[in-house]
């Protein structure tokens, strides 16, 4: 494995010397996500081969694996011990890797209650833009030595370095689960989800689609049963299939040629008056919008900002708009400086996150 790291180092040093951009690729399942890379003649840095679980101690609730490890293999290993990645990462394809999952920073249905990818990252090993082999964080849950550089890698879209290994906190799978559904209008659904989130209920996911509110309960059998009585509604039998279709965006809603926007906003924000179909997740703090371009990117971004959040052009024509929400100048200045420090030659995925990075 060290030989592979040496190869990556050599590739990075050569790229830095010749200022040739590198395109980091794991399983290639999130290729659609992010801006088109800037510059010509990208060299592909393929991480899929650098794979395998390095260390897994179920009773320590920590797993360490190489970035090229397939999520499906990682989750299978956890499953054998009744554990899981609690942030339910979307795969968007069988080939999805741990490195891509962390770099894209996307989380699934359980995010609102369990936390996001960044909440479970404990440490990383990475190569910086000079080929330096660096380790941040560690394999323990409480660690405040040094700045939290490992979490900084989450969602950075590979612009700060090449991830080699990641340590994650894992959690036991809940012993019981059930999905309920009920008809509600959008405003009522928003209020209801937020009210329930303030009560000690075992709700692990919420979704509002097609005029129906779906609620997943997870936990001890007794808690799930009690909550079902409190919440009411009907049981939705195809529970697993439904939540997988939301996580993987295979649900009917997502089967569209229109641009898909992700508005991440304050959960209690009232229904957004934007043209296009919507689907809500995470107690209302994520609103997916299918837009037929009749609403401009600016309009969508203004609506997200007014709702105390930001908008991402998740899938769609990135020629028309930047994928990620523009940053305030002061924040962008820090981003640029960080990029210069981690990647002085600007070779890692240039432009994928922002044109300036």
Report the nearest approach of other proteins to the CB of residue 152 (Å).
Answer: 6
Which of 1, 43, 44, 141 binds other proteins (CB under 8 A)? It is 141
- Among the candidate windows 11-19, 232-240, 261-269, 313-321, which touches other proteins by CB under 8 A? 261-269
- Contacting other proteins within 269-288 (CB under 8 A): 282, 285-286
Return the ∠ at Cα 137 (arms to 136 and 140), rounded to 5°: 150
Q: Which stretch binds other proteins (CB under 8 A): 14-22, 60-68, 236-244, 271-279?
A: 60-68
Looking at the Cβ atoms of 22 and 103, the one nearer to other proteins is 103
Nearer to other proteins, 70 or 160 (CB): 160
Class of residue 13 by CB neighbours under 10 A (exposed 0-12, middle 13-18, buried 19+): middle
Interface positions, 166-205, toward other proteins (CB under 8 A): 171-173, 175, 191, 194-195, 197-202
List the one residue from 3, 40, 41, 145 that touches other proteins (CB under 8 A): 145
Is 5 among the residues that bind other proteins (CB under 8 A)? no
Instruction: Tell me how far apart the alpha carbons of residues 207 and 279 are, in angstroms, rounded to a whole number.
Output: 7
Residues 294-353 that bind other proteins (CB under 8 A): 308-310, 312, 324-328, 330-332, 334-335, 337-338, 341-342, 353
Among 36, 144, 229, 319, binds other proteins (CB under 8 A): 144
Query: Nearer to other proteins by C-beta: 70 or 284?
Result: 284
Q: From the CB of 317, what's the least distance to other proteins, in Å?
A: 19
Angle CA 187–310–160, to nearest 5: 145
173 with 167: CB under 8 angstroms? no
Q: Which stretch binds other proteins (CB under 8 A): 69-77, 111-119, 232-240, 291-299?
A: 111-119
Task: State which of positions 227-256 bind other proteins (CB under 8 A).
Answer: 227
Query: What is the pattern of x (binds other proteins, CB under 8 A) and - over residues 8-47?
Result: ----------------------------------------
Closest contact distance (angstroms) between CB of 308 and other proteins is 4
Q: In what order do the strands lie in the sheet with 121-127?
A: 53-57, 62-66, 162-169, 121-127, 133-137
Q: Please report whether residue 63 would count as binding other proteins according to CB under 8 A.
A: no
Residues 6+ apart with CB under 8 A from 310: 263, 264, 265, 301, 304, 324, 325
* Residues in binding contact with other proteins, number by CB under 8 A: 89
Q: Cβ closer to other proteins: 255 or 330?
A: 330
How many CB atoms lie under 10 A from the CB of residue 304? Answer: 24
Least Cβ distance, residue 40 to other proteins (angstroms): 26
Please state the closest distance from residue 121 (CB atom) to other proteins, in A.
9
**Taking CB under 8 A as the criterion, which residues in 71-110 touch other proteins?**
81-83, 105
- Closer residue to other proteins in complex, CB, 218/291: 218
């Amino acid at each position: 494995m060290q030989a592979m790291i040496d190869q990556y180092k050599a590739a990075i040093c050569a790229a830095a010397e010749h200022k040739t951009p590198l395109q980091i690729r794991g399983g290639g399942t999130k290729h659609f996500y992010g801006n088109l890379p800037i510059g010509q003649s990208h060299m592909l840095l393929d991480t899929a081969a650098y794979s395998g679980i390095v260390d897994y101690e179920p009773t320590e609730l920590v797993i360490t694996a190489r970035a090229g490890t397939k999520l499906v293999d990682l989750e299978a290993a956890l499953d054998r011990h009744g554990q899981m990645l609690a942030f339910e990462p979307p795969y968007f394809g069988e080939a999805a890797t741990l490195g891509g999952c962390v770099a894209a920073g996307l989380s699934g249905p359980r995010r609102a209650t369990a936390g996001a990818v960044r909440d479970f990252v404990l440490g990383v090993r990475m190569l910086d833009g000079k080929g330096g082999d660096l380790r941040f964080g560690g394999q323990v849950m409480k660690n405040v030595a040094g700045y939290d550089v490992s979490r900084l890698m989450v969602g950075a879209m590979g612009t700060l370095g090449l991830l080699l290994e990641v340590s994650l906190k894992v959690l036991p799978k809940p012993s019981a689960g059930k999905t309920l559904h009920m008809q509600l209008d959008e405003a009522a659904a928003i209020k209801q989800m937020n009210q329930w989130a303030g009560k000690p209920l075992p709700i692990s996911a919420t979704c509002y689609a097609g005029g129906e509110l779906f609620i997943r309960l997870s936990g001890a059998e007794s808690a799930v049963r009690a909550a079902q009585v409190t919440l009411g509604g009907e049981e939705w039998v195809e529970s697993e299939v439904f939540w997988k279709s939301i996580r993987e965006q295979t649900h009917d809603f997502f089967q569209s040629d229109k641009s898909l926007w992700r508005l991440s906003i304050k959960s209690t924000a009232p229904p957004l008056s934007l043209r296009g179909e919507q689907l809500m997740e995470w107690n209302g703090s994520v609103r997916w919008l299918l837009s037929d371009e009749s609403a401009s990117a600016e309009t969508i971004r203004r609506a997200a900002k007014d709702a105390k959040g930001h908008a991402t052009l998740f899938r769609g024509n990135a020629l028309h708009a930047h994928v990620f929400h523009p940053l305030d100048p002061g924040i962008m200045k820090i981003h640029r400086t960080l990029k210069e420090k981690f990647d002085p030659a600007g070779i890692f995925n240039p432009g994928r996150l922002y044109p300036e990075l």
